[in-house]
Structure 1
Amino acid sequence: MLGVARGYGYEQVDPPLAEFADELSARLKAGGLRDAVRFVDPVSQRTLAIRPDLTAQVGRIAATRMGHHPRPVRLSYAGPVLKLSASELDPLRSMRQIGCELIGLDTVAAATEVVQVAIEALQAAGVTGLSVDFTLPDLVDTLAADAPDLELLRERLDAKDAGGVAALDSRYLPLIEAAGPFDTAMARLRAIDSGALSSRLDGLAKIAAAIAGQAALTLDPTERHGFEYQSWLGFSLFASGVRGEIGRGGSYTIIHGDGREEAAVGFSLYADPILDAGLGDSERRRLFLPFGTPSGLGARLREEGWATVSALEEDDT
Structure 2
Amino acid sequence: MSAPVFRTQVPEGVRDRLPGEAARMRRLSAQLDGVFRAWGYREVATPVFEYLEALAAGAGKWARTEDLYQFFDRKGRTLALRPDMTTPIARLVATRLAGEPLPLRLSYFAPVFRHRDLRAGAASEIWQAGVELVGAPGEVADAEVIALACAAVKAAGLEGFRIGLGHVGIVEGLFQFAGVSPEAEAELKEAMVARDLVAFEHGVIRAGLSGERADLLLGLAHFHGGFAEAQERFGGVGGQVAEALEHVGQVLRLLEALGVSEQVSLDPGLVRSLDYYTGVVFEGYLPGIGAPVMGGGRYDNLLLEFGAPLAATGFALAVDRLLMAQERNGCAAAGEGLDALIACPPGREAEAMAWAARLRAQGLTVEVDLLGRSGEELAAYARARGAARVLTPEVPSIH
TM range (shorter): 0.7 to 0.9
1:71 maps to which of 96, 102, 111: 102
- Would you say 1:251 and 2:298 are equivalent positions? yes
- Name the structure 2 match of 1:266: 314
CA distance in structure 1 between the partners assigned to 2:136 and 2:121 by the alignment: 30
1:25-104 aligned at under 5 Å gives the runs: 25-26=56-57, 28=58, 30-31=60-61, 33=63, 36-86=67-117, 91-104=122-135
Return 5+ residue gaps in structure 1 as ranges. Answer: none
Higher strand share: 1
Q: Which moved more, 1:67-76 or 1:32-41?
A: 32-41
Query: Does residue 222 of structure 2 align to residue 170 of structure 1?
Result: no
What pairs up with 1:47-196 in 2 under 5 angstroms? 47-86=78-117, 91-142=122-173, 145=176, 149-152=180-183, 154=185, 155-156=187-188, 158=192, 159-160=200-201, 161-164=203-206, 167=209, 170-171=212-213, 173-178=215-220, 179-183=223-227, 185-189=229-233, 191-194=235-238, 196=240
Kept after mapping to 1: 8 A contact 2:68/2:83 = yes
Kept in 2: contact 1:101–1:265 (CA 8 A): yes
Q: Is the 8 A contact 1:130 1:215 kept in 2?
A: no
What CA distance in whole angstroms lies between the structure 2 residues aligned with 1:226 and 1:74? 24
**Contact 1:175 / 1:189 at 8 angstroms: preserved in 2?**
no
C-alpha distance in structure 1 between counterparts of 2:268 and 2:206, whole Å: 18
Deviations 1:160-195 (A, max 9, x none): 455456627734632431522334643434542435
- Report the secondary structure of 2:311's partner residue: strand
2:340 partner amino acid: F
Correspondence for 2:49: 18
**C-alpha deviation, 1:224, in angstroms:** 2.4
> When the two structures are aligned, how many residues end up with a matched partner?
312
Aligned pairs (5 A) from 1:214-293: 215-252=262-299, 253-256=301-304, 259-277=307-325, 278=327, 281=332, 283-284=334-335, 286-288=338-340, 290=342, 291=352, 292-293=354-355
Q: Which deviates the most, 3-12 or 202-211? A: 202-211
Letter in 2 for 1:239: L
Query: Which structure ranks higher in relative contact order (CA pairs < 8 Å, sequence separation ≥ 6)?
Result: 1
TM-score, normalised to structure 1, is 0.83
TM-score (norm 2): 0.67
Which is greater in Rg? Answer: 2
Query: Would you tell me which structure has more helix in proportion to its own residues?
Result: 2
Give the whole-Å Cα distance in 2 for the aligned partners of 1:6 and 1:314.
Answer: 45
Structure 1 position 213, deviation (Å): 5.1
- Aligned-pair identity (%): 24
